[in-house]
Amino acid sequence: MKTIDSASLSLMQQEMSEMRRLATASPLSAQTISSAPGGESLSGVSFHQVMRGALEHVDSLQQAASTRQNAVSSGESDDLVGAMLASQQASLSFSALVQVRNKVASGVNDLMNMSI
């Protein structure tokens, strides 16, 4: 049976502690977004920045998973468990991103169809 190397184990422990932290954190509260007279957002964070960050994070997860899978396929690594975990993490993050995209698109369509 294959043992997990220390780098993979520490990565899995970090991910598990992050999941526990997110699970115990309070749900996001509704935030009011104030606008300056010029239409500038006062919150300092735009939707564009949040989505770009999410896309970059999902992309990095997918690239890491691909790298690990290629290393296992070529025989450079025998960490199949780590490669499968990275692949599942990338898959779940992509699915979540697609669901967010669908909700945003649905919201935009609802706004466009709203009568004034």
- Look at residue 10 in the predicted model and tell me its pLDDT: 79
With CA atoms as reference, report the closest residue to 8 among 92, 79, 88: 79
> pLDDT tens digits for 82-97?
999 999 999 999 999 9
- The pLDDT tens digits of the residues spanning 49-105 come to 888 999 999 999 999 999 999 999 999 988 899 999 999 999 999 999 999 999 999
- Distance between CA 67 and CA 48 in Å, rounded? 28
Predicted model pTM: 0.59
Which 3-state string (H, E, C) describes 47-61? HHHHHHHHHHHHHHH
For 28, phi then psi, to 5°, come to: -65, 135
